[in-house]
Amino acid sequence: MWQVVDEVHEQPEVLSRLLTAGRPLVEQAAVRIRAAAPRFVVIAARGSSDNAARYAQYLLGAHNQLTVALATPSLFTFYHRPPALAGSLVVGISQSGHSPDIVAVVTEGRRQGALTLAITNDPTSPLARAAELVLPLLAGEERAVAATKTYTAQLFVLAMLSAALSDDPTSWDDLALLPDRVAQTLVLNRDLPEQMTPLVSVRHLAVIGRGFNYATAFEVALKLKETCLLVAEPYSSADFRHGPIALVEPGFPVVVVAPSGAVFPDVAALVEELQARRAMLAVITDDPGLSGVADIALPLPAGVPEWLSPIVAVVPGQLLAVSLAQARGLDPDAPRGLRKVTRTL
């Protein structure tokens, strides 16, 4: 068994652990954040953690009325001209907590008097030491290079933080369903390796998502790049229509992330356009009609609220990447030229 497969299947357990052991820490952090009343949020992250930050932009904006910006670490490390951060909440998200550029943003935020928060799987890391508040991922050691359980743990911690900031009990009820929904998703997609033949020889594809699942499109594309060594470009369904759709010819592969929610009609309409162009479609959805037109169907369980759907919708994308890597004769645990901890300036 590949290590990454084990870690994908650990995700329900990790989310359950966060819901119990992590909730008190999240609620304590929320008290501090509400007291600070930040005017905006700046998030520093790289790789999968940057995709978690994209989710936070939609989540904290929609549910907590917070403007969220993604940091530009080069301003801190190369140009030494950091923007004004006073009055903000500065968040560093990093699985390892060891990347110097992410630590630099949080360190500068704290120097300027901003409230700082680290979300990391290593509570003893340089990032954790730099921040005033720390929310551990409690995911256990992740050995595979491709982040899976730490990514969904990051999303879950952000969702718990949003719920704690809004002080809405129904949000916690929704969160309590997630470990079981992820477990259901793993079962629904257990036969995915048998469907890889149409994708084995592809060299490039597009991944489409929108709204809360814009982040999912980026994360699935990243997993396909690093484990399958193909060019996978992420787009929102809106951006894809503004030029990139011209790439689509018969057989062009497109992965579409389309769970139920406010943006579903727009994404479904794009699927119709792609069908008309005879694209090869792999569709992550809980909609039976959309699954029915897919060349590769990646089903989701029904009843997941849209704001939490990225935590579930990414799981078939992870399984797709692992299954396709195996079909292409690649080692999904050790992508070419990559290490588990990447340190950038």
DSSP string, 243-298: TGGGG--TT-EEEEE--SSTTHHHHHHHHHHHHHTT-EEEEEES-HHHHHT-SEEE
Question: Is 84 in the same domain as 194?
Answer: no
Question: Is 260 in the same domain as 144?
Answer: no
Question: Is 140 in the same domain as 12?
Answer: yes
b/e code 24-60 from CB counts within 10 Å (16+ = b): ebbeebbeebeeeebeebbbbbbbbbbbbbbbbbbbb
Q: What separation in angstroms does the CA of 55 have from each of 6, 16, 69, 155, 209? A: 25, 20, 11, 7, 12
Give residue 2's pLDDT: 77
User: pLDDT digits over 253-281, tens only?
Assistant: 999 999 999 999 999 999 999 999 999 99
Give residue 1's pLDDT: 61
The residue ranges of the chain whose pLDDT is under 70 are: 1, 337-345
Of 110, 140, 167, the residue at which a domain comes to its end is: 167
Give residue 167's pLDDT: 86
- Pairing state of beta strands 115-120 and 68-70? unpaired
Are the C-beta atoms of residues 152 and 22 closer than 8 Å to each other?
A: no
User: pLDDT digits over 274-306, tens only?
Assistant: 999 999 999 999 999 999 999 999 999 999 999
Question: Is 132 in the same domain as 208?
Answer: no
Give residue 146's pLDDT: 86
Cβ atoms within 10 Å of 131's Cβ, excluding its own: 25
Give residue 92's pLDDT: 98
Q: CA–CA separation, 337 vs 298, rounded Å?
A: 29
Question: Is 138 in the same domain as 227?
Answer: no
Question: Is 262 in the same domain as 313?
Answer: yes
Are the C-beta atoms of residues 125 and 143 closer than 8 Å to each other?
A: no
116 - beta bridge partners? 90
Give residue 182's pLDDT: 98
Q: What is the pTM of this model?
A: 0.96
Cβ atoms within 10 Å of 269's Cβ, excluding its own: 12
Give residue 339's pLDDT: 59
Residue 195 lies in a domain: yes
Question: Is 218 in the same domain as 309?
Answer: yes
Q: What separation in angstroms does the CA of 166 have from each of 59, 242, 251, 266, 288? A: 11, 36, 46, 29, 33
Check which CATH number belongs to the domain holding 65 and give it.
3.40.50.10490
Residue 120 CB burial class (10 angstroms; 0-12, 13-18, ≥19) = buried
Phi and psi, residue 269, nearest 5°: -65, -35
Question: Is 25 in the same domain as 163?
Answer: yes
Q: Roughly what angle, to the nearest 10 degrees, separates helices 309-327 and 169-188?
A: 20
User: pLDDT digits over 113-156, tens only?
Assistant: 999 999 999 999 999 999 999 999 999 998 888 899 999 999 99
Give residue 344's pLDDT: 66
* Domain encompassing residue 251: 184-327
Q: CA–CA separation, 64 vs 51, rounded Å?
A: 19
Q: CA–CA separation, 208 vs 216, rounded Å?
A: 9
Question: Is 241 in the same domain as 133?
Answer: no
Question: Is 163 in the same domain as 28?
Answer: yes
Q: What is the domain count for the chain?
A: 2
88 - beta bridge partners? 40
Give residue 333's pLDDT: 79
Give residue 17's pLDDT: 98
Are the C-beta atoms of residues 112 and 1 closer than 8 Å to each other?
A: no
